[in-house]
């Protein structure tokens, strides 16, 4: 079967490169993937798949039914949105949309998803169960997965697979991660209310800017002194605003930031911990404050059995040398985690590194993926899907008589 999948993928590769270049030249921002979605739906329909459009606003779902001996549904998720970045790659197929660029490789993901659908559609008569392709919008704003779930895209799904390109892994290699792959990412907003006054008479005012400085410093110090250092927390205040004139003591400051963590217990406790510190500092200096902590996306925690299945499929397909076990998670975030609240799953990293180009990182205006990785992604996903029906055990049947 592996040889058949590889041969099919080789035949499809020129077409897949065309698809990828078309998508790359026509990027669309999060939640506005209308042309991309129509294009994806067109390709899926041409394969004979049953297609649902406008799932999760601009998402697309394709159903590839097997012969039905196994009731489980395996989902394969790829994302479609681009970023508000002006492309500087100089490629012939660079973005034709001013100020919008596929700088996170979601054009590669969409292409790999379509390629996998092409391969599995041809194997459909041999697949015991259904593969459901989720083409998701709005990953960059961490909304699309939630929209898809809300619209029922995960109904009856038993397991889900996903991938993300990664420029620091050489093209045609893969990164497999057991356990946490990405961090939980939450939003933090703090309003500090002091009392305005003359810049020369601090004793008659409550300086919200000085108190904001204390809040930021205390939070950073408290991470190092009160959080378990083996359970990382990153708190970044990325915005600060307040004050009206150089010689007027500011009465109001707004701080906004992002909070990243890996351990579920730490994640659970963060809002109360931050509230206590901020309230304490503000109270000490005579100000009042409001802390708004908004949960973003949880950490992606890969399912051990499915991850092992992907690893074995990848090693069989490419050899051990091209399959790295990633020693560390990332503190980046990925809304794939929202699917994992519905069903176990696993996400791997697809190497697209171009050492000849200096490997610009994701979200960089010169980011460029090595297209050789498309076939690597397609074969790995298609073969992992094939192996899923053969090797991943069904959950234990309940006993017939109560124990």
Q: How far is the CB of 114 from Zn ion (least distance, A)?
A: 17
User: DSSP code of 82?
Assistant: B
- Spatial CB neighbours of 173, under 8 Å, sequence gap ≥ 6: 318, 322, 323, 324, 351, 376
Does residue 222 bind Zn ion (CB under 5 A)? Answer: no
Q: How many other C-beta atoms are found inside a 10 Å radius of the C-beta of residue 131?
A: 28
Q: Is 48 left (phi over 0), alpha (psi -120 to 50) or beta?
A: left
Residue 71 burial class via C-beta count within 10 angstroms: exposed 0-12, middle 13-18, buried 19 and up: exposed
By beta-carbon proximity to Zn ion, the closer residue of 141 and 248 is 141
CA-based nearest residue to 148, from 217, 55, 242: 55
By beta-carbon proximity to Zn ion, the closer residue of 208 and 338 is 338
Query: Binding Zn ion by CB under 5 A: which of 37, 40, 61, 104?
Result: 104
Q: How far is the CB of 348 from Zn ion (least distance, A)?
A: 14
CA-based nearest residue to 216, from 270, 274, 260, 269: 274
Q: How far is the CB of 103 from Zn ion (least distance, A)?
A: 7
Q: How far is the CB of 315 from Zn ion (least distance, A)?
A: 25
Q: How far is the CB of 157 from Zn ion (least distance, A)?
A: 21
Part of the chain binding Zn ion (CB under 5 A), chosen from 2-10, 97-105, 298-306, 387-395: 97-105
By beta-carbon proximity to Zn ion, the closer residue of 139 and 303 is 139
In contact, 21 and 395? CB cutoff 8 Å: no
Number of residues located near Zn ion, criterion CB under 5 A:
1
Strand partners, 132: 63, 75
Q: What is the rounded radius of gyration, in angstroms, for the C-alpha atoms of the chain?
A: 24
Residue holding tokens 């907003």? 189
Which single residue brings its beta carbon nearest to Zn ion? 104
By beta-carbon proximity to Zn ion, the closer residue of 142 and 278 is 142
Part of the chain binding Zn ion (CB under 5 A), chosen from 4-12, 99-107, 199-207, 305-313: 99-107
CA distances from 123 to 14, 126, 267 (A): 20, 5, 43
Task: Kindly identify the residues of this chain, within the stretch 338-357, that bind Zn ion according to CB under 5 A.
Answer: none
Site string for Zn ion, 47-86 (x = CB under 5 A): ----------------------------------------
Does residue 176 bind Zn ion (CB under 5 A)? Answer: no
Is residue 334 annotated as part of the catalytic site, yes or no?
no
Q: How far is the CB of 236 from Zn ion (least distance, A)?
A: 17
By beta-carbon proximity to Zn ion, the closer residue of 37 and 369 is 369
* 3 state SS for 207-238: CHHHHHHHHHHHHHHHHHHHCCCCCCEEEEEE
By beta-carbon proximity to Zn ion, the closer residue of 168 and 217 is 168
Is residue 139 annotated as part of the catalytic site, yes or no?
yes
> Taken in order 206, 210, 214, 215, is the CA torsion positive or negative?
positive
Part of the chain binding Zn ion (CB under 5 A), chosen from 101-109, 124-132, 209-217, 248-256: 101-109
The catalytically annotated residue of 33, 79, 81, 251 is 81
Strand partners, 62: 51, 133
By beta-carbon proximity to Zn ion, the closer residue of 285 and 363 is 363
CA distances from 251 to 163, 189, 238, 358 (A): 48, 17, 20, 48
Part of the chain binding Zn ion (CB under 5 A), chosen from 98-106, 149-157, 189-197, 258-266: 98-106
Q: How far is the CB of 283 from Zn ion (least distance, A)?
A: 39
The catalytically annotated residue of 87, 139, 140, 311 is 139
For the packed helices 34-46 and 106-123, what is the interaxial angle rounded to 10 degrees? 20
Q: Would you name the residues annotated as active-site residues? A: 81, 139
Binding residues for Zn ion, rule: CB under 5 A, are: 104
């Amino acid at each position: 079967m592996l040889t058949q999948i590889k041969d099919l993928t080789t035949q499809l590769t020129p077409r897949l490169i065309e698809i990828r270049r078309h998508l790359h030249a026509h990027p669309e921002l999060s939640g506005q993937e209308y042309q991309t979605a129509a294009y994806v739906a067109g390709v899926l329909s041409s394969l004979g798949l049953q297609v649902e459009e406008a799932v999760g606003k601009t998402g697309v779902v394709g159903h590839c039914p097997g012969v039905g001996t196994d009731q489980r549904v395996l989902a394969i998720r790829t994302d479609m949105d681009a970023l508000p970045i002006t492309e500087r790659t100089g490629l012939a197929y660079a973005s034709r949309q001013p100020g919008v660029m596929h700088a996170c490789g979601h054009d590669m993901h969409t292409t790999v998803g379509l390629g996998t659908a092409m391969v599995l559609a041809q194997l459909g008569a041999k697949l015991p169960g259904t593969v459901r392709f989720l083409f998701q919008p709005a990953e960059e704003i961490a909304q699309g997965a939630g929209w898809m779930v809300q619209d029922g895209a995960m109904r009856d799904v038993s397991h889900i697979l996903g991938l993300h390109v990664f420029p620091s892994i050489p093209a045609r290699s893969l990164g497999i991660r057991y356990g946490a792959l990405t961090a939980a990412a939450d939003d933090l907003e703090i309003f500090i209310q002091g009392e305005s006054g003359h810049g020369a008479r601090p004793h008659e005012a409550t300086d919200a800017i000085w108190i904001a400085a204390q809040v930021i410093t205390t939070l950073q110090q408290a991470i190092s002194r009160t959080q378990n250092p083996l359970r990382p927390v990153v708190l970044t205040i990325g915005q600060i605003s307040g004050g009206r004139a150089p010689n007027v003591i500011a009465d109001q400051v707004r701080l906004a930031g992002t909070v990243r963590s890996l351990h579920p217990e730490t994640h659970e406790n963060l809002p109360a911990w931050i509230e206590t510190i901020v309230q304490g500092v503000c109270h000490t200096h005579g100000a009042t404050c409001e802390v708004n902590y908004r949960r973003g996306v949880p950490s992606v925690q890969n399912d051990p059995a499915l991850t092992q299945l992907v690893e074995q499929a990848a090693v069989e397909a490419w050899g051990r040398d091209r399959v790295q076990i990633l020693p560390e998670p990332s503190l980046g975030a990925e809304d794939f985690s929202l699917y994992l609240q519905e069903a176990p799953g696993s996400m791997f990293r697809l190497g697209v590194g171009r050492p000849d180009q200096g490997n610009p990182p994701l979200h960089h205006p010169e980011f460029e993926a090595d297209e050789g990785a498309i076939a690597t992604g397609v074969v790995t996903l298609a073969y992992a899907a094939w192996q899923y029906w053969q090797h991943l055990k069904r959950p234990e049947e309940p006993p017939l008589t109560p124990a």
